[in-house]
Amino acid sequence: MQALPHMLRYDDAIVVVKYGGHAMGDEQVAREFAKDMVLLEQSGVNPVVVHGGGPQIGAMLKKLGIASHFSGGLRVTDKATVEIVEMVLCGSINKQIVGFINAEGGRAIGLCGKDGNMVTATKLERHTEGHTASDEPEVDLGFVGEPSKVDVTVLDQVLGRELIPVLAPVAQGSDGETYNVNADTFAGAIAGALGAKRLLFLTDVPGVLDKQKNLIKELRVDDIRGLIADGTITGGMIPKVETCIYALEQGVEGVVILDGKLPHAVLVELLTDHGAGTLITR
Ligand SMILES: Nc1ncnc2c1ncn2[C@@H]1O[C@H](COP(=O)(O)OP(=O)(O)O)[C@@H](O)[C@H]1O
Ligand SMILES: CC(=O)N[C@@H](CCC(=O)OP(=O)(O)O)C(=O)O
């Protein structure tokens, strides 16, 4: 009964769930995640899954003897690397998640940004090794893109028809090239374009932590800027909270960062009174 008011609140709402590569490491957890997506869909919510796969791309590149490194949290992506990124994200990972959802009785449809011109990317033209040091050498990230246009026509066709879209963060550039897009950024662009009620980031920490490593349950956009400035938020959490700010500015009502390894994290967050992670609002 505790879930009922929450189910009413999310009835027919779009919830974008970004499922990070670290969170999906354990098969049992991935199957539980798939079950949660089916339950949400059956409860009248419209879940849209955007998955990552950084560690899995890394493992495949290693197997093939292709060296890989990151700059400012993004993978430097040459021609050979982008082929593997597309193979791993749009191929094995996307189809594995689709399969897990289908195995739980759902009907998933696996797509990437290229399908129906959903996400068009432009080459990300930045940047220096660090986030702030201007004297550091410029790094060419190669085929790393940022979404420049989102066309939700395909998703509009899919949502509300008992289908669960599962999206891989690969996009086509207006130059015809294939681009590797950070999955957080991709999820933020999709959530913004769909006017999602919630954007959930499933990661490997309980949420945004303070300096004493305690969970911060609620944050406003202005608090985030302070936490970055004073060094509380660092590393991979920076692009994540920057995406939160972008999505909120695009009209998403609330963004939650939570631990994807927690059993049924999404259900606890959406359908219980206490929630599961850090809720970020405007
Ligand atoms: N204040 C903070 N609270 C929580 N995590 C933080 C914080 N600052 C930095 N981090 C780091 O951010 C990481 C999450 O980002 P990332 O590794 O990119 O996740 P994902 O692979 O799920 O996208 C955490 O594992 C943690 O090491
Ligand atoms: C440009 C860039 O860095 N792309 C990421 C795409 C996958 C991703 O973002 O996966 P996680 O969410 O698991 O980190 C990469 O190549 O690893």
User: What average pLDDT does the segment 72-83 reach?
Assistant: 94
Q: Which residue has the higher pLDDT, 242 or 138?
A: 242
User: What average pLDDT does the segment 79-101 reach?
Assistant: 98
pLDDT at 138: 79
**What's the pTM?**
0.94
- Residue % of the chain over a pLDDT of 70: 96
Domain boundaries, the chain: 4-65+84-121+146-281
Helix (H) or strand (E) holding 32: helix 27-42
Nearest by Cα to 34 from 46, 19, 54, 14: 19
Instruction: Identify the weakest region by mean pLDDT among 123-127, 180-184, 217-221.
Output: 123-127
Tokens found for residue 212: 């004493």
* pLDDT tens, position by position, 198-210: 999 999 999 999 9
User: What average pLDDT does the segment 52-58 reach?
Assistant: 96
Q: What is the CATH number of domain 4-65+84-121+146-281?
A: 3.40.1160.10
Our answer on whether the CB atom of 188 is closer than 6 Å to any ligand 2 atom is no
Q: Is the pLDDT of residue 49 over 90?
A: yes
What's the rounded Cα separation, in Å, for the pair 272 and 266?
10
ipTM: 0.96
Tokens found for residue 14: 């779009």
Calculate the average pLDDT of the chain.
93
What's the rounded Cα separation, in Å, for the pair 151 and 120?
8
pLDDT at 26: 86
129: confidence class by pLDDT, cuts 50, 70, 90: very low
For 4-19, give the DSSP string.
HHHHHHTTT-EEEEEE
* pLDDT tens, position by position, 226-277: 999 999 999 889 889 999 999 999 999 999 999 999 889 999 999 998 888 9
* pLDDT tens, position by position, 3-48: 999 999 999 999 999 999 988 888 999 999 999 999 999 999 999 9
* pLDDT tens, position by position, 100-111: 999 999 999 999
Q: Is the pLDDT of residue 133 over 60?
A: no
Our answer on whether the CB atom of 54 is closer than 6 Å to any ligand 2 atom is yes
Q: How far is the CA of 80 from the centre of ligand 2 (A)?
A: 16
pLDDT at 137: 67
User: What average pLDDT does the segment 106-125 reach?
Assistant: 97
Q: From atom 17 of ligand 1, which residue's Cα is the shortest distance away?
A: 236
pLDDT at 124: 95
Our answer on whether the CB atom of 97 is closer than 6 Å to any ligand 2 atom is no
Measured CA angle at 199 (ends 170, 210), to 5 deg: 110
Residue 104 and residue 40 in contact, taking contact as beta carbons nearer than 8 Å:
no
Which atom of ligand 1 is least distant from the CA of 237? 12
> Which residues are annotated binding-site positions for substrate?
53-54, 75, 180
Q: Is the pLDDT of residue 83 over 70?
A: yes
pLDDT at 62: 98
pLDDT at 218: 95
User: What average pLDDT does the segment 210-226 reach?
Assistant: 95
Note the ligand closest to the C-alpha atom of 182.
Answer: 2
Tokens found for residue 95: 């189809």
Q: How far is the CA of 107 from the centre of ligand 1 (A)?
A: 31
pLDDT at 130: 46
Which atom of ligand 1 is least distant from the CA of 232? 1
Which atom of ligand 2 is least distant from the CA of 22? 13
pLDDT at 127: 58
